[in-house]
Amino acid sequence: MNNFKQLRHDVNGNTRFVTSWLGFGFNSYAQAVKAANTLGGRKYHCKAYGGGIVFQAYQCELADISARLQALAKAA
């Protein structure tokens, strides 16, 4: 599993995790964000974590998200 860092909950109390796009094998950040969008991920706009992708998910789902992103990177 890649390095997911837990963020503060959103306004509705949902858990959020952010990770870097570099650990999945994509050629560009735009390609990684497009693949993450299919899984519910969004571009993370915080300056403290440049090039991040944020997911609204529970901790038990992170391994599945990571595996699916790596599969999408190999297919691209």
CB 69 within 8 A of CB 36: yes
Spatial distance between the Cα atoms of 57 and 31, rounded to a whole number of angstroms: 21
35-67: pLDDT as tens digits: 999 999 999 988 777 789 999 999 999 999 999
Confidence category of residue 1, pLDDT binned at 50, 70, 90:
low
CB 68 within 8 A of CB 40: no
5-32: pLDDT as tens digits: 999 999 999 999 999 988 888 999 999 9
Q: 39: helix, coil or strand?
A: coil
Does residue 75 carry a pLDDT above 80?
A: yes
Which pLDDT score, from 0 to 100, does residue 19 have? 92
